[in-house]
Amino acid sequence: MKLLYITNQICGSGGLERVLSIKASYLADILGYEVHILTLNQGGLPLFYNFSDKLIYHDIQTHGKGITKFKKYRRGLIDTVKKVQPNIISVCDDGLKGFFVPIILNKPCPMIYERHVSKNIEIKNDSISQLSKLKLKLIYKLMYFGAQSYDKFVVLTKGNLTEWKLKNLMVISNPLSFYPLNVSDLKNKKVLAVGKQSYQKGYDRLLISWQKIVQKHPEWQLEIYGKVDDSLELNKLAQQLKVDKTVQFFPPTKEIKDKYKEASVYVLSSRYEGFGMVLIEAMAYGIPCVSFDCPCGPSDIISDKEDGFLVLNGDTESMAVKINNLIENEKMRIEMGKKARENVKRFLPEVIVPQWDSLFKNLVTS
């Protein structure tokens, strides 16, 4: 079975890259697929995550603007597909162009679209102008038009199903990155958050909650790992809230496993998600999570009051209360952590990737 993934760069530290490294490697190493990955403008940039040595890479270099850039992208797609002659193509591109790949290629074989983010990714701030609303409406119409061209449109959560009125929809969750033998003992006075600094991740809201926490527990530390965006001025906000002595921002690290193991509580403050890989990773380390019940993902992962807490999206007061509950009750932390580690087994690669194998084979033989 020849499988071609079409995506953008896979050298970054994001969730899509991590998930693709797991799925593509499992399909090649365990299930015997011939897996090709077509990237865009990656060149010789090193990979952040570990990909199987069996994977075959292709890259499209596009330079220039507008129609010139599009022509190079189109030619690159056509030439690569002609060379590889895949049995099936899976597009992992959350940008608008990804929706039109079947039209560009004239659909040479069964094609799948993998949606890794919520439609809310197009919303960049709290206030939306009328012009922006019109632009969003046009973008969503174009997305819907292109989405219908795919044989299957795969989303990550049940919540994502409500975003798309399509007949070709199905849900396959992301697989776990790891399931360690040694987990956190939940004794360190550390709360952890992982993800790039952005409007989406809502670290401004987390800092407001943290101000309430350190008033009661000044000895606890909040560590945030992810690509830094100075324009958000999170360091300045931390200073204004007088929490800068208990908050530390770090760039992405390949040793994130060590950071999970050192944490006692995980917090997700996102305004919206595509899934929430960081939640299942933290749970694999036996860490109870507190998350805003944002669209889409946390409610599919966390069983509220059993293995973590779901908080009304944006309710920073309740977020602080739930984190304080876990800080103040070690027995609760440990019990929730045990349940989290057990419940998250449903996302193991050996559970998730065979669902992809079944989908691929059904599409090819139908």
* pLDDT tens string 131-153: 888 998 999 999 999 999 999 99
What beta strand segments (E) does the chain contain? 2-7, 34-40, 56-60, 88-92, 111-114, 152-155, 169-171, 190-194, 221-225, 247-250, 265-268, 289-292, 308-311
Beta-bridged to residue 38, according to DSSP, are: 6, 58
Measure the CA–CA gap between 21 and 16, rounded to whole angstroms.
9
CA angle 30, 31, 34 (to 5 degrees): 110
Measure the CA–CA gap between 283 and 303, rounded to whole angstroms.
11
Burial class (CB in 10 A: 0-12, 13-18, 19+), 29: middle
Confidence at residue 181, expressed as pLDDT on a 0 to 100 scale: 96
Per CATH, the architecture of 2-175+348-365 is what? Answer: 3-Layer(aba) Sandwich (3.40)
Averaged pLDDT for residues 319-342: 98
| Percent of the chain predicted with pLDDT > 70 | 100
205 pLDDT exceeds 90?
Answer: yes
Structure token pair of residue 245: 């002595």
126 pLDDT exceeds 80?
Answer: no
Q: What is the DSSP letter of 363?
A: H
**Terminal C-alpha separation, the chain:** 15
**Are 115 and 171 spatial neighbours (Cβ–Cβ below 8 Å)?**
no
pLDDT, tens only, 10-25: 999 988 999 999 999 9
Confidence at residue 79, expressed as pLDDT on a 0 to 100 scale: 98
Confidence at residue 301, expressed as pLDDT on a 0 to 100 scale: 97
Averaged pLDDT for residues 186-213: 97
- 């799925």: which residue's tokens? 23
> CATH top-level class for 190-346?
alpha beta
Backbone angles phi, psi at 243, to 5 degrees: -120, 5
Domain boundaries, the chain: 2-175+348-365, 190-346
318 pLDDT exceeds 90?
Answer: yes
Confidence at residue 125, expressed as pLDDT on a 0 to 100 scale: 76
Question: Mean pLDDT of all residues in the chain?
Answer: 95
The band of 129, judged by pLDDT with boundaries at 50, 70 and 90, is confident
Averaged pLDDT for residues 245-268: 97
pTM over 0.85: yes
Rounded to whole angstroms, what are the CA distances from 102 to 40, 114, 149, 160? 17, 13, 6, 22
Confidence at residue 48, expressed as pLDDT on a 0 to 100 scale: 94
